[in-house]
Structure 1
Amino acid sequence: MSMKIQFRDFWGGYKAESNWFTEQLDKYGHTYVIVNDNPNVIIFSVFGNYQFQPKIKGCKNVYFTGENRRLVKDADLNLTFDNTSEHNNIRLPLWILYGYDKNMQLTKKNTNNFCCFVYSNNIQHRNNFCLKLSKYKNIYCGGRCLNNIGGRIKDKIEFQKQFKFCIAYENSLYPGYTTEKILEAYKSNCVPIYYGSTTVVDDFNPETFINAHDFESEEKLIEYIIKVDNDDSLYEKYLNKPIFSDKWLKIFNDPDEKYFKNICKEIIS
């Protein structure tokens, strides 16, 4: 019998019929249909009120957040950024949903363009850092925030490929809250300048990005970035290494794919 799955309270434009969850369920041979009424499984997120309401009985309630929100205690399954198994939680960081090559490495590129910054949401700590760093060299801002190129870019990855560095600052700070921002810098073959989760090294190889948390001040961070920008050998130390942490490489290279199969099993069972 097909499981009836309903998606609720996801972000605008989310495709209930085709998304990361349906791709995983298809991959591992689970039979289901997407419905609007009378579901067996409700997969809900944070863009609505269901997270705060009493959960519908007689079906499985699965909470997923791509935002910096904590788990929902009365959900049957939590898929969050939190690194805990309490309340049947599995850590599922948002970047996983954005697609990746498990063998990805940064490689040398033929450009002297310094750095880019592509954001739509005005976040004070992020904007302030960009403005401070831009006192050294111009930073090309292609999003809505601080735009200085005459309009918003159409393709973020292609735009970022022109630059050596990419500012990858999260909207907010929380251990484990690692989103697509650092991954999209890697996809653009830029060295990420990262600020956000203090446990980011659990996800990504610390030898492949500049971690703002390693510096006692923004001034020290900027001083180091300038040093790397002017020293090819130092810059190249970030290249030709796996971008993912050993933990995730082990998950990705598991021939039994236990991590992903387990998520599907927990959703359906």
Structure 2
Amino acid sequence: MSEKKKIKVKFVDFQDSLKENDNFFIDSLKKNFDVEVSDDPDYLFFGAYGYKHLDYDCIRIMWTIENYVPDFNICDYALAYDIIEFGDRYLRFPFFLNRPEIENVRKTIERKPIDTSVKTDFCSFVVSNEWGDDYRIRLFHELSKYKKVDSGGRSLNNIGGPIGMGLDKKFEFDVTHKFSFALENAQNRGYTTEKIFDAFAAGCIPIYWGDPNIEEEFNPKSFINCNDLTVEEAVEKIKEVDQNDELYHAMLNEPTFLGDLDKYLQDFDDFLFNICNQPLEKAYRRDRIMKGKTQEHQYKLINRFYYKPYFFLIKVAQKLHIEFIGRKIYHFIRD
């Protein structure tokens, strides 16, 4: 057996959910390479939560779990939600393929008949912030006029406190409910997160809003698609299913995920292999002389004079438990 090519990698600007020495990127790369995590990397993997990546002049690979279009003037390659083609530089790779989130994908695919005797509650709602589109907040309030919607997150909590972090705690909370909110932060083609899988895995009927293409990957007969519904129309649709046991059980027994998980994972392996199997200098794709350098300088200024003060104010608001002020700051800057 030939010796594996040695590569040095590093991970920056991610949230705590991605561990530098133990993550799905390393799992994939180790299939074909001898991988070392190094402060002097050949390949830098970075997220959307900072600007440390600008301190590295090696090959940059971005992965974002947010509704964010990668800037290819800054990165050589990217993985994100958008349905776009850009040669060998881009792969659609949604957050639900991360671990441990992928476990709920597998539970959804392998879902057994639902025991409806445990469905003693109406609808669950787990949201930790209100920074996204206000559709889901308006739907929460409007649906609550019909029956109580149990809110177990930090936002709009009405059960005596948040359920805590982690997929297990969310599953335990969701599993007793007939329906579960699976509304995204924003509406964008390809932007499908783990939320709909969380609902399916717990045996709930997802109430979905977000990706306009959602029915290309999920059976429309298995969930309530609110994309083209007003808040009032969505409430009426939910009430219809809730009040019709035959329809409710029929939806529970429908197939759910129409996508090909194995293909997602194989495409991911192939994408990383193509990047790292090239001679190092030939693997660069971004402009490192003109436009790229100008863009980097602009980002550094934006980080220093815009994002750092902005996130400082948000953190202060959260520490003082006055998140409504943080939301006002966010919406003022966004608009």
The reply to whether TM is greater than 0.5 is yes
Stretches of structure 1 that go unaligned for 5 or more consecutive residues are none
- Residue 13 of structure 2: aligned partner: 9
Which protein has the larger Cα radius of gyration, Structure 1 or Structure 2? 2
Give the alignment's TM-score, normalised by structure 2: 0.72
Amino acid at match of 2:85: S
SS in 2 for 1:213: coil
Q: Give the Å deviation of 1:50.
A: 4.6
Amino acid at match of 1:130: F
Cα-to-partner distance string for 1:107-149 (whole Å, 9 max, x where unaligned): 3321241100011112433222111101100011111011111
Shift of residue 7, structure 1, vs aligned partner:
0.4
Which residue matches 2:109? 103
Q: Deviations over 1:169-208 (max 9, x none)?
A: 1112211111111111112111100011111223322222
The residue that corresponds to 1:79 in the other structure is 79
Q: Does the alignment pair 1:146 with 2:160?
A: no
Q: Which moved more, 1:257-266 or 1:73-82?
A: 257-266
Match of 1:159 in 2: 173
Structure 1 counterpart of 2:29 = 25
Q: TM-score, length-normalised on structure 1? A: 0.88
Give structure 2 stretches of 5+ with no counterpart. 278-335
Structure in which a larger fraction of residues adopt helix: 2
Shift of residue 257, structure 1, vs aligned partner: 6.1
Q: 2:194 aligns with which of 174, 180, 202?
A: 180
1:59-104, CA deviations, whole angstroms, 9 ceiling, x for partnerless residues?
A: 3211110001102213221101111112621101111111121633
Query: 1: CA distance between counterparts of 2:246 and 2:266?
Result: 39
In 2, distance between residues paired with 1:106 and 1:219? Answer: 33
- State the Cα RMSD in Å: 2.1
Match of 1:43 among 39, 42, 45: 45
| Pair 1:234-2:247 in alignment | yes
Distance in 2 (CA, whole Å) between partners of 1:265 and 1:208 is 36
Residues in 2 aligned to 1:177 and 1:257: alpha-carbon distance in whole angstroms: 18
1:34 and 2:44 are equivalent in the alignment: no
Per-residue CA shift, 1:224-260, capped at 9, x if unaligned? 1101001111112222333212xx23x52x5x96423
CA distance in 1, matches of 2:121, 2:256: 22
Indicate conservation of the 8 Å contact 1:192/1:210, yes or no.
yes
Change in 2 beyond 3 A, CA 1:257/1:172: closer
The percent identity for this pair of structures is 33
1:263 lines up with 2:266 in the alignment: no
Give the drift of 1:13. 4.9
Count of matched residue pairs: 258
Query: How far does the alpha carbon of each residue in 1:26-66 deviate from its partner, in whole angstroms, 9 at most, with x for none?
Result: 4x34320112x210110011101256x4861xx32111100
* 1:68 matched residue in structure 2: 67
Q: Which residue identity lines up with residue 215 of structure 2 in the other structure?
A: V
Structure 2 residue 132 is matched with structure 1 residue 126: no
